[in-house]
Structure 1
């Protein structure tokens, strides 16, 4: 069992590095407390890898990929709209949502994103050859550790970037995840998925540059104009 824990932990941790789950975790950490995000990730990891162990060790079956990809795509597109509306309603500060609303969203998005992912497939394969409980424990811990690294990166960005940019970045990432899952996993069109996500990314970059230039081009009001007073130049006469 100890061997199963260590092997599963190492495999899942390495598989999660650079995976979309880390990007999703970082996206959530831009908007919510780190312990809330990590709690949701932990619950989702237990569910996903528990299902993987059941499939690999007890059932020996596969999951329907396309229906799951469609459901995940719809979920991420809804998250993009939700995050964007939160940003539009805020008054300049990043709002910390209540855990009772955030944790279910994190769990559902992670479960949908991980079903059929390479991490889950690796867990299924490990569970067919190793102790099922050890694989479950090791895979869950490995995913939580990998996503904890993403949370740390998200908190670093949270301290360095303005609130408005964080809202836009989080919404953009959710939109990209949704479009990729829709065209790649749902329709099986990898080339279209690459083209669409690249086009959306390029459009977002252009909009960001234009908004940045517009903000810099706006003249700053002088202190006299802010106070509503003006001071005419004074002249002195010498007799």
Structure 2
């Protein structure tokens, strides 16, 4: 298997296992129930694709700053660390209704924004109406909401850090392509019917599957030779 194909396969598998049922998946699912699906899908996809490219870029730069031998060992260590972390969460954490929690959070935010809107005067409303046709062609509030919730929800989580590690140890183009394909599939599933799916997926099962996959990648990385 070539490095590009291996990077693609690993990135695709990692993305599919770790993203189904996570916070960004739930966010996309619930937003799609309340707003136009096209805007939610475009906002979420823009966020996850941007995050994937940035993460892979960081991983690609790392071997140029640190010897490849060390980036390989760091990546191997991260896989084992995330594997143990995910397995520990699967075995120790109690099941929570994340869908209901996220809906409650969105409702609270919506009420807060409505309260602020009522405090505005008619002049401000008129200015917003005048600006809306121009801005609507580029970014809508729904697009920005979907983008921000997804982007910052993904920032710093295990899948992002794992993508950085993969890109440092595998072909970064393969990692980017695999990550983007996986994110497109997961996000599309979330927008089309993710709320029903998210409510039926066991968080423990997702964490368990993620942990097993991380451990497999860690073992494979440990046994593989470091490329010069």
Using structure 1 for the length normalisation, give the TM-score: 0.49
Report if aligned partners of 2:47, 2:147 keep a CA contact under 8 Å in 1: yes
In the TM superposition, 1:10-159 aligns within 5 A as 10-59=13-62, 80-84=107-111, 100-154=140-194
Provide, for residues 191-224 of structure 1, a one-character-per-residue CA deviation record: whole Å limited to 9, x for no partner: xxxxxxxxxxxxxxxxxxxxxxxxxxxxxxxxxx
1:144 CA drift (Å): 2.0
The answer for unaligned runs of 5 or more in structure 2 is 66-102, 118-135, 198-228
User: What's the offset of the Cα at 1:82?
Assistant: 4.2
Question: How far has the Cα of 1:139 moved from its partner?
Answer: 0.7
Q: Report deviation, 1:84.
A: 3.3
Kept in 2: contact 1:17–1:146 (CA 8 A): yes
Aligned length: 135
State the Cα distance separating 1:120 from its structure 2 match: 0.4
2:35 aligned counterpart, secondary structure: coil
Cα pair 2:7 2:175 within 8 Å, conserved:
yes
Q: How far apart in 2 are the matches of 1:154 and 1:87?
A: 27
1:142 CA drift (Å): 0.6
- 2:176 and 2:20 map into 1 onto residues whose CA distance is 19
How far apart are residue 81 of structure 1 and its match?
Answer: 4.1
Q: How does 1:155-170 map to 2 (within 5 A)?
A: none
Structure 2 CA distance for partners of 1:26 and 1:86, relative to 1, 3 Å: farther
Q: Which has the higher contact order (CA 8 A, sep 6+)?
A: 2
Preserved CA contact (<8 Å) 1:53 1:136? yes
Instruction: Determine if contact 2:45/2:187 at 8 Å carries over to the other structure.
Output: no
**In 2, distance between residues paired with 1:135 and 1:109?**
23
Q: Is the 8 A contact 2:29 2:191 kept in 1?
A: yes
Q: Return the match for 1:6 from 1, 9, 12.
A: 9
Gaps of 5+ in 1: 62-75, 90-97, 158-239
Q: Based on CA coordinates, which of the two structures has the bigger radius of gyration?
A: 1
Superposed displacement of residue 59, structure 1: 3.7
| Rounded Cα–Cα distance in structure 1 between residues aligned with 2:153 and 2:6 | 28
TM-score for both structures, normalised by structure 2:
0.51
